Chains A and B, each alone.
Chain A
């Protein structure tokens, strides 16, 4: 998820500052001294979040609510007293993402069902702490789908009740046991049009081909092995529908790392923040990069000479989850159902270029917008869908192997 890293960095940054100050005081006051990182793991759970009460119960978008033109209507949601008196606490990633969600999901849900909405910022440590303490504050939270499935397996989530969440038109692998994927985003190949405008790279084989496509490159290290292994295999000629089959064998893993060895000397930047590849391409620091589609989209609209190659991109998802022991389970399920209706998902994509998980949403989106969305039919068929079950089993081991490879 594109904004997650920024949020994490911001939080760590803020925490770092707090700790530094506390640390100084400690050292000076008592002669005690312990590395501040030691407390990192322990402190992460204790982040304070600032719940910002959304416009909530009062219909905010328009005082003349109802069937007025331009006001979102959602089939099946026509009882403005359905959840009256109930409060839904939504924990999202913050930033531009949550701003878009507020307009497309939270405010309409409040208006159409009468629920009061309170917003918070999602945090795995906090979620675990709430469940462990039996004091669940959030009704619905957002997380990456991989993380959601790990949490589900660790017993921190309520199972999704598909009698309340209509999954009829969901794409494949959207309806998880403990999570529902709500948006697609993509890790794609982005390149400078002034460098490769006439003969753009067609996929990862071209990214690896430094003779035909000379120039510095940036690759993604924040996602670790996720993406890099798939791309290496595709660069090595594995058809995209066989990538995970090959990766499930030890020889396949070796093959991927051997292919990564080839590109290693030509990578000038291993990026850590989602904003970096767009900036590196815009400034001409690199000519080709792996990047998150949302960031490239934003740079393009600011006029940067950058293009996206959708071929062999890696489609990934973020999910909505419900913490185990939640008080308003039915409200949570109804909210997730609402957030995955075609009308609502189409509305969200109008605010931010993340893409619907309900196929029917594309019936409601104009062609020019569809061309920018990773899960629109034309883009979707060119890409590879990240295999959550593969990564759920192998993420830990392969992250270690990848970091080992990277730092050698």
Chain B
């Protein structure tokens, strides 16, 4: 915004020569952007348009039949609701776990922080399936955790930590935690520590300094991390399928069934479109409330 305002009057005042230079610079940007734009168009925009098309055209005829089915059959809205509830829960857990972790990393010397960051990232490079099976070994009825707790006498009966919502939340939070930690950490690193010293100098207690200076400044990172985790969680498939109970079905599982066994690509496309639209609405609301450009470091 501000840059535009500053530049705009300058441009109107400028000579034809500098205007041509400005045009050439813009052309340069365009050329640099072209590969990304083409890739986006071919790999992203086109498939999504095809998806929309598939969901409303049957045998060359326009139809809203698939959307009618989604609205009329209780199952689909219920599973969508479950999907959103799980995504919110996972986001909350990642926030509670991720914020202190990012804070801790941001207080370390860069060298040690980098080292510990590798530990945060290691799960990133492990297959989701492997991680899910590892959790099974730990959490199941006869699993490692239950055996320890039983031997320590802390419980009399094995706890149910798998094949229910707990299993889903544990598995998904583990997978998605880095998405919360990375943006939060990046923003926290950029916060000028002398502001905290200034606050202390002006008489703020450490808690006050954190709450009134550090926390507000770190919010863009939190917002970005939460949005990433939330949206990625919406599309989860393997973890709820393997670690969830019968009621923890998420929409991606229904989409997968439509494609794998029913071969009903049109209905699968309609389900995917509904999820996409709802996600965009969430995104728009989020943008209105928090401002997307703020999340990615702009806006100051």
Contact = CB atoms under 8 A, between A and B. Distances in A.
Contact of A404 (B40, B73, B265, B283): B73
Interface in B174-207: 179
8 contacts: A16-B128, A37-B272, A37-B276, A44-B259, A124-B260, A147-B261, A267-B246, A407-B79
Interface stretch (A7-15, A200-208, A370-378): A7-15
A35 B235 contact: yes
A283 B163 CA distance: 15
B74 A404 contact: yes
A17 B127 CA distance: 8
Given A13-B127, A13-B238, A43-B47, A35 B246 contact: no
A36 B263 CA distance: 21
Residue from the set B51, B242, B263 with the largest chain A CB neighbour count within 10 Å: B263
Contact of B48 (A28, A30, A39): A39
Contacts of B48: 34, 38-39, 42
Contacts of B74: 404
B275 A273 contact: no
A34 B262 contact: no
Interface of B: 36, 40, 43-44, 47-48, 50-51, 54, 73-75, 78-79, 82, 127-129, 136, 140-142, 163, 179, 227-228, 231-232, 234-235, 237-238, 241-242, 245-247, 249, 251-252, 254-257, 259-265, 268-269, 272-273, 275-276, 279-280, 283, 292-293, 296
A153 B296 CA distance: 51
Q: Top 4 nearest A-B pairs by Cβ distance?
A: A37-B235, A38-B276, A42-B47, A35-B279
Interface of A: 8-10, 12-13, 16-17, 20, 22-24, 26-44, 124-125, 128, 144, 146-147, 150-151, 154, 216, 221, 224, 267-270, 272-273, 276, 279, 283-285, 395-396, 399-400, 403-404, 406-408
Contact of B142 (A36, A147, A269, A284): A284
Contact of B264 (A33, A267, A396): A396
Contacts of B44: 26, 34, 39
Contacts of B129: 9-10, 13
Given A26-B40, A40-B272, A269 B75 contact: no
A46 to B, nearest CB: 8
Contact of B261 (A216, A224, A272): A224
A28 B47 CA distance: 20
Nearest to A127: B263
Q: Is the interface of B mostly helix, strand, loop or mixed?
A: helix
Contact of A272 (B234, B242, B296): B242
Contacts of A273: 241-242
Contact of A12 (B75, B237, B262, B275): B237
B140 A39 contact: no
Contact of A285 (B47, B50, B142, B242): B142
A42 B55 CA distance: 11
Contacts of A26: 40, 44
Contact of B238 (A9, A42, A43, A151): A9
Contacts of B140: 283, 285
Contacts of B163: 268-270
A78 B284 CA distance: 69
Contacts of A221: 246
A387 to B, nearest CB: 16
Contacts of B128: 13, 16-17
A272 B241 contact: yes
B131 to A, nearest CB: 10
Contacts of A9: 129, 238
Contacts of B252: 37, 40
Contacts of B262: 150, 395-396, 399
Nearest to B74: A404
B228 A407 contact: no
Nearest to B46: A42
Given A31-B292, A42-B51, A273-B242, A37 B255 contact: yes
Nearest to A156: B263
A213 B48 CA distance: 51
B235 A36 contact: yes
B242 A407 contact: no
A27 B283 CA distance: 12
Given A16-B237, A41-B272, A404-B74, A36 B40 contact: no
Given A26-B44, A38-B276, A41-B54, 20 more contacts: A12-B256, A13-B128, A16-B128, A17-B128, A20-B232, A33-B283, A34-B44, A35-B235, A36-B232, A36-B235, A39-B48, A41-B269, A151-B263, A154-B263, A272-B241, A285-B141, A404-B74, A406-B246, A407-B82, A407-B247
Contacts of A30: 36, 40
Nearest to A12: B237
A31 B232 contact: no
> Which of B245, B260, B293 has the most chain A CB atoms inside 10 A of its CB?
B260
A221 B256 CA distance: 13
A124 B268 CA distance: 14
B246 A270 contact: yes
Contacts of A403: 75, 79, 249, 254, 257
B230 to A, nearest CB: 10
A400 B75 contact: yes
Contacts of A12: 237-238, 256
A404 B275 CA distance: 19
A171 B141 CA distance: 43
A395 B257 CA distance: 11
Contacts of B51: 38-39, 41-42
A8 B252 CA distance: 13
B56 to A, nearest CB: 13
B251 A407 contact: no
A399 B273 CA distance: 21
A43 to B, nearest CB: 7
